[in-house]
Amino acid sequence: MEVSAETWHRVFLYPRQQRTGVIAKHSAEERAREIIAWLGGSRPTSLRHDAAEAILIGLWGLKKVGWLEELPEFLRR
């Protein structure tokens, strides 16, 4: 399965969070931190944007294939 950034951006980020690549990367980092907390993980001291994007793509994939019925409340728009 292939997914473009635009596809998962629409699911997890508001349009204002997608205006530039820098804003989108920062917003993805914030969302990934929320997801880590939701999953009960320790708060990361540092989180690179590529790791944050991988977390969001993974969650998008879980929802897409039906392994996750609903997104967490904080991610629903």
DSSP 23-71: HHHHHHHHHHHHHHHHTTPPPPS---HHHHHHHHHHHHHHHHTTSSSS-
Instruction: Name the residue range of residue 32's domain.
Output: 5-75
As a whole number of angstroms, the distance between CA 51 and CA 22 comes to: 15
CB atoms under 10 Å from CB of 56, counted, come to 22
pLDDT digits (tens, 9 = 90+) for 11-67: 999 999 999 999 999 999 999 999 999 999 998 888 998 999 999 999 999 999 999
Q: C-alpha angle with apex 65: 5 to 9, nearest 5 degrees?
A: 20
Helix (H, G, I), strand (E, B), or coil: what is residue 20? coil
Q: Number of structural domains, the chain?
A: 1
